[in-house]
Amino acid sequence: MARELADVLHYFLEDARPAPCAPPRCLALVAEPDELLGAAFLWNLAHELARRGNSVAWVSALSDEELLPDDACAGIQRLLAPVAELAGLAAAVREAGAKLRARPAPELVLTRVPPSWLGPEAGAQDLLAWTLLLAGPELERRDEARVRSQRIADALPGARIGVTLTGVRSVREAEAAFGALARDFSTPRAELWSYGLLLDDHLLYDALLARRPLTHHRPESRAALALRDVARLLEEDWRRDAA
Amino acid sequence: MLPERKRERLALRAALLRLTPPLEAVAEDVLGIVSRIDLVTRDPDGEVTLVLTAAQGADLARLAEGLAQCAWLTPRLADWNQLAPHLGLASERGARLLLVAPRFDERTRAAAESLGSERVRLAELVPRGELDVELRPLTEPPPAPTERVPRPATGFRTNLRD
């Protein structure tokens, strides 16, 4: 049976053991379990971040994620976490580095959190420090984003709340929608950060059905360009924070 | 035992991956205009860089050759994307040149500087042991299109345009 390095490390000098890894950074997408766009977006985003050379893991607590195509070959490590509340998911994220034995250890963990789980429980600090919402230009969807951002801020004052605009047809429309969202955003206890927009959202599903990440499936599409841009913005902030 | 040329090429590919941003080889020994291109690479954003190596004293001539190869390759990148869409080449941005040599003539440096790092970068090739090499860039990577300073709760951010 094949053995991993960790299984034979005790044969070597003490100094040869790897130092304990820093816990990975977590980006939590706050979305209802039945919001398929959230799952399709996160799956494609994970692939794009991995393609850019990042070590990415996906901690999956929602059952529909088990149906997503296997992404081990893309270098994304996935950990199923059979939990039903925030603290359990936070623990799973914290332990992801140790549980996922493949190397390199994940630097970034992606996960989805249902809004109903949001609260000031233990673990909120690990899970909600950096969150992402998908918001649309319509009043109803802006209102939904406002309520969710308020709940995140209540659970973790000072949280960074990222917003990616969806359901828009142009950059101009997305910019106007973000401006309206920022005006709606009334809590001074959190920060609202813009993370671009998604165009032609339906192509995210097409890519999922084709079992190929969007940036491979339709690399020249506006949807792929927009997804790359979102990934780049997230990566830049993450790297800047780490520095 | 690998032939020496193959070994050098492998060491160069490994060194390219250590650059910032890393350059991943997507094609090797490509027949370009009249002569061959050592490597065609892409960075994590899909931008294409053509890599030419130059022996000592030949760098000025290779610079001219590299520019000609970039001009040859740029209009073909869209076709490459059709043939190999998984590479995700940023064909609209064209190809730039990375010239690699043990040392550079003052005239090569001046020419590269006047062309700008958007088009040409120079890197010195330094042996590291018998099997490895290091690349020391002489020119900075091109600046990001726009400096983005995040402003919480205010600015909309994207690099896309309508």
pLDDT given at position B66? 96
d(CA A66, CA A29): 17
- 8 Å CB contact of B158 and A215: no
To the nearest 10 degrees (0 to 180), the angle between helices A222-242 and A36-51 is 70
d(CA A82, CA A96): 13
Residue A13 lies in a domain: no
d(CA B102, CA B125): 5
- 8 Å CB contact of A216 and B85: yes
Put simply, whether A229 touches B (Cβ < 8 Å) is: yes
First to last CA, chain B: 54
- For residue A215, give the nearest of B88, B153, B159 by CB distance: B88
Test the B interface: residue of A228, A238, A240 with most B CBs within 10 Å: A228
Cα dihedral value A230, A234, A239, A241, nearest 10: 150
Place of tokens 């820093």: A22
B57: left (phi over 0), alpha (psi -120 to 50) or beta: left
Residue A2 lies in a domain: no
Domain range for residue A83? 21-242
- The partner residues of A72 in beta bridges, in order of sequence, read none
Query: What value of ipTM does the predicted structure carry?
Result: 0.81
Residue A3 lies in a domain: no
Residue A183 lies in a domain: yes
Which residue on chain B is closest to A163 by alpha carbon?
A: B156
pLDDT tens, B2-22? 567 777 888 899 899 888 888
Interface of B with A in 68-107 (CB under 8 A): 81, 85-88
Residue A10 lies in a domain: no
Instruction: Mean pLDDT check: name the lowest of A49-53, B38-42, B125-129.
Output: B125-129
Domain ranges of chain B: 4-137
Q: What is the pLDDT along chain A (243 residues), one digit of tens a residue?
A: 444 544 444 444 344 344 444 567 899 999 998 888 898 899 899 999 999 988 888 888 876 666 677 665 567 888 888 888 888 888 888 887 777 655 667 788 999 999 999 877 766 777 899 999 999 999 889 889 988 998 898 888 888 999 999 999 999 999 999 988 888 776 667 888 999 999 998 998 888 888 888 988 899 999 999 999 999 999 999 888 877
Put simply, whether A146 touches B (Cβ < 8 Å) is: no
Residue A168 lies in a domain: yes
Helix (H/G/I), strand (E/B), else coil: B42: strand
- 8 Å CB contact of B152 and A191: yes
Name the domain count of chain A. Answer: 1
What is the fold, at CATH topology level, of the domain defined by B4-137? Trna Endonuclease; Chain: A, domain 1 (3.40.1350)
Output the pTM of the full model.
Answer: 0.58
Q: Indicate which CATH number applies to the domain containing A105.
A: 3.40.50.300
Instruction: Mean pLDDT check: name the lowest of A12-26, A92-106, B65-79, B91-105.
Output: A12-26
Place of tokens 């950060």: A193
